[in-house]
């Protein structure tokens, strides 16, 4: 668990962070979101002491971070950043093995761990282990950055706009992979982004910052339903909120079970997956100009139907 109590950071006389209090529970994915310069990166870097806080307390599992040596603390936490920070003259495998090497793991254990992580992140070891960072695409380099952050199996992962420089499709893929990894690894993650759509998709809890302060924190649903003020509302996209809400809700929540007597008559309807979002369902209805869809299970079997009027039941 990470706790920030009335934490501030002053650069000269300027408050980059101004008395924020925040608790991130173990296993929680907490996203800090806000416009440029609001203090997100400074907050993240205070947690691993790349930046020292000026006032307040930061605790990891109840212990003040100042009681740890800074380097020791950083080795206990994964850190992934937008520019990846990979060493350009080191191979992918050597980059991933950095922290285990610093922790003096045996070469055999490091090799085993590097191979395991490359497989976990979808980087075929035989193809990528010996490549140099310059030979990687942006998406592959980010995967290496995340693998390196996970190398020593830290409980805490700090991620600063890790997918910020990627094209939208690669970015979506890596977001999906982070969610898949998180459902398996249950790390305590603090993730910084300026992109509210990314925050809504990834977060268990979103913390909205403005001018060094926290203006609201809550689940994606809470923010969408009850934005604290106009600033939060504008970050959420104002009138677009209905679509964003639909993007967070699964088809399964509103579908009607399939009536076997009607199955044949509905067999020609366009299909949507039970785990797809209502936003996708709406898009399919608009595209196919139809008012209902057949809902299929993961293995493609029809399990229900979803009607246009059902979608209106998501309204708050």
Ligand X SMILES: Nc1ncnc2c1ncn2[C@@H]1O[C@H](COP(=O)(O)OP(=O)(O)OP(=O)(O)O)[C@@H](O)[C@H]1O
Residues that bind ligand X in the complex, under the rule CB under 6 A: 11, 16, 34, 36-42, 194
Closer by beta carbon to ligand X, 194 or else 266 = 194
Q: Given its phi and psi angles, is residue 307 left (phi above 0), alpha (psi -120 to 50 degrees) or beta?
A: beta
Q: Residue 191 forms beta bridges with which residues?
A: 31, 159
Chain centroid offset of residue 51 CA:
23
Closer by beta carbon to ligand X, 7 or else 110 = 7
Dihedral sign of CA atoms 59, 37, 205, 273 in order: negative
CB of 32 to ligand X, least distance (A): 8
Distance CA 110, CA 96 (A): 9
Q: Given its phi and psi angles, is residue 39 left (phi above 0), alpha (psi -120 to 50 degrees) or beta?
A: left
Closer by beta carbon to ligand X, 20 or else 272 = 20
3-state SS, residue 51: coil
Q: Which residues contact 214 (CB under 8 A, 6 or more apart)?
A: 20, 21, 22, 207, 208
Other beta carbons within 10 angstroms of residue 258's beta carbon come to 17
CB of 36 to ligand X, least distance (A): 3
CB of 16 to ligand X, least distance (A): 3
CB of 37 to ligand X, least distance (A): 4
Closer by beta carbon to ligand X, 117 or else 192 = 192
Q: What are phi and psi of 16, to 5 degrees?
A: -75, -35
CB of 193 to ligand X, least distance (A): 8
CB of 34 to ligand X, least distance (A): 6
The CB-based long-range contact list for 178-183 (8 Å cut-off, 24+ gap) reads: 178/146, 178/202, 181/120, 182/29
Rounded (10°) angle between helices 168-185 and 138-150: 20
CB of 208 to ligand X, least distance (A): 11
Q: Where are the beta strands (DSSP E) in 28-155?
A: 29-33, 55-60, 63-64, 77-81
Closer by beta carbon to ligand X, 50 or else 307 = 50
Closer by beta carbon to ligand X, 16 or else 196 = 16
Closer by beta carbon to ligand X, 39 or else 220 = 39
């Amino acid at each position: 668990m990470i706790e920030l109590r009335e934490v501030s950071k002053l650069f000269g006389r300027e408050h980059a962070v101004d008395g924020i209090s925040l608790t991130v529970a173990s296993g929680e994915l907490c996203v800090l979101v806000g416009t440029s310069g609001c203090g997100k990166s400074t907050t993240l870097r205070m947690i691993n002491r790349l930046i020292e806080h000026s006032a307040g307390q930061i605790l990891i599992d109840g212990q003040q971070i100042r009681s740890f040596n800074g380097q020791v603390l950083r080795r206990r936490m994964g850190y992934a950043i937008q520019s990846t920070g990979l060493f350009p003259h080191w191979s992918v495998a050597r980059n991933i093995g950095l922290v285990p090497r610093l922790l003096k793991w045996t070469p055999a254990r490091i090799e085993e761990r590097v191979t395991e992580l490359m497989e976990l992140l979808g980087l075929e070891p035989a193809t990528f282990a010996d490549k140099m960072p310059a030979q990687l695409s942006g998406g592959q380099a980010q995967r290496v950055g995340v693998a390196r952050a996970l190398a020593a199996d830290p409980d805490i992962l700090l991620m600063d706009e890790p997918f910020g420089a990627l094209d939208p499709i690669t970015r979506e893929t890596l977001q999906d992979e982070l969610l898949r990894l998180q459902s398996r690894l249950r790390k305590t993650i603090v993730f910084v982004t300026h992109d509210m759509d990314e925050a809504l998709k990834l977060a268990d809890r979103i913390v909205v910052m403005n001018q060094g302060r926290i203006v609201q924190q809550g689940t994606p649903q809470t923010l969408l339903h009850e934005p604290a003020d106009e600033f939060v509302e504008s970050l959420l996209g104002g009138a677009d909120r209905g679509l964003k809400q639909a993007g967070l809700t699964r088809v399964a929540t509103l579908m009607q079970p399939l009536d076997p007597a009607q199955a044949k008559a509905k067999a020609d309807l366009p299909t949507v997956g039970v785990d797809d979002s209502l936003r996708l369902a709406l898009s399919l209805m608009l595209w196919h100009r139809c008012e209902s869809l057949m809902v299929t299970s993961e293995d493609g079997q029809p399990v229900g139907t979803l009607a246009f009027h059902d979608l209106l039941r998501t309204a708050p």
